[in-house]
Amino acid sequence: MTTRAFVGVDVSQADAHVCFLLADGSEPAPRWSIPNTQPGAEALSQTLAQLAHQHAITELRIGMEATGLLWWHLAQHLRATPRLAPYAPQVYALNPHLVTTFRANYGALPKTDRADAFLIAERIRFGRQLPAPFQRDARYAPLQRLTRFRLHLVQNLAREKNYCLSFLFLTFSRFGQVSPFGDPFGATSSAVREAFTTEELAQQPLEALTAYLQAKGHGRFADPTAVATTLQRAARDSYRLDQVLQEPLRVVLATTLASIRGLHAQLKTLDVTIARELAGLPQTLDTVPGLGPVWTAGLVAELGAISRFDDEAAIAQYAGLTWETYQSADYQAEDTALTKRGTPYLRYYLVEAANSVRQHCPEYGQYYAAKAVETPRHAHKRALVLTARKLVRLIDALLHTGARYQTPAERQARAGTLPHAAHPRPPRRYKRARAIA
């Protein structure tokens, strides 16, 4: 007979507060705290083993909020320590939203570390809609660190570019409106802004400016005279800046451009490392048109071993690509919000991958276009998220079966007389096994 105990751990950088509950909700030991260190983790596992032995526990369920990375070392220790192995420990890294909404059931419960530890243990004891137990797969952990860091760099790059553009408006107000180079951060565009002030561009002879653009653009401009004319007209139409601000703003723009170039260089180096790590993992996602090494690596790193998921619905739930349902009597809401109650990293890579796949794969491009015209409200975002949800089914099938992607024509030819051959789905035994359990 299984006898469970439930442990809530509220983790901070310095320490962790612990609550131990039996199956009936009673606390056989007062709540305590440990330092968030290796010796503290060993002391915690020893105390939990003693309590489990004392109360004839056969299974320990341990929960903690997944805030930052403060919980990671402790979760890894509790999951893997031999001291707790006889009690089959399952460690859950909970979305803080699960605990926050659960708190409303306890009225005026104080907001303290000890109360939070109790809430976490009680939420684990309640048991419904818990995430999959924490697992660290050494095969995917290095790639996950790299792809998450890449997302961090991309977000920093976007912030730096927006910051640069705001100051560019002060120095050259018409530049962003006419976009003479298309990409305001391209090599020629950056060279022009670093070489000339707005006033100098306005006074520059057209022939000399055309020759400069031709040299900096290495002859790539189809009509350099037209580009020079547009650039000069934009300079003449721009607001004139006070002389005392020109030098400080020049320094600001030069520094932000250097930061942008540095971030681009770091991304290139990181992409090479990511591609090398990805090459050592079994997957066939890169056979899908539009899924290059970066998007494939992000998906593979966040999913880990595909055996963790029963079916494609479990993947969508894990990524937060599900929609709330609002129904009362005969009323059924049509405009429902995305839950987003999953890992934001997997959701980001799914949506970005879908955006790339729809541009390279006609099947997904047609699906996106069909969804985009269904409603004028937030059409692009809605269609893109729905395309990402469709992509989940393909990803689940390819990773479960190890098959390569086939175009609709290839699938129809292989299916013979079946006119509507779909993507291969994982064996139905996954759903049946879960229902039996």
The pLDDT assigned to 123 comes to 94
Query: Token pair of 142, please?
Result: 């290095």
Query: Token pair of 276, please?
Result: 């090398």
The pLDDT assigned to 431 comes to 40
**Coil, strand or helix at 37:** coil
Q: What is the pLDDT along the chain (437 residues), one digit of tens a residue?
A: 789 999 999 999 999 999 999 999 999 999 999 999 999 999 999 999 999 999 999 999 999 998 888 999 999 999 999 999 999 999 999 988 889 889 988 888 888 999 999 999 999 999 887 887 888 778 899 999 999 999 999 999 999 999 999 999 999 999 988 888 888 898 899 899 888 889 999 999 999 999 999 999 998 899 999 999 999 999 999 998 888 988 899 899 999 999 999 999 999 999 999 999 999 999 999 999 999 999 999 999 999 989 888 899 999 988 989 887 777 777 777 777 888 878 899 999 999 999 999 999 999 999 999 999 998 888 999 999 999 999 999 999 999 999 999 888 887 787 765 444 444 554 444 443 333 32
The pLDDT assigned to 416 comes to 66
Query: If we measure between CA atoms, which residue out of 13, 95, 12, 86 comes closest to residue 48?
Result: 86
Query: Token pair of 8, please?
Result: 């809530």
Query: Token pair of 2, please?
Result: 């299984």
Query: If we measure between CA atoms, which residue out of 58, 49, 55 comes closest to residue 26?
Result: 55
Buried b (16+ CB within 10 A) or exposed e, 63-85: bbbbeeebbeebbebbbebebbe
State how far the Cα of 306 lies from the Cα of 318, in Å rounded to an integer.
12
**Coil, strand or helix at 182:** coil
Q: What is the pLDDT of residues 342-380, one digit of tens each?
A: 889 999 999 999 999 999 999 999 999 999 999 888 899
DSSP 273-313: HHHHHHHTS---GGGSTT--HHHHHHHHHHH-SGGG-SSHH
The pLDDT assigned to 363 comes to 92
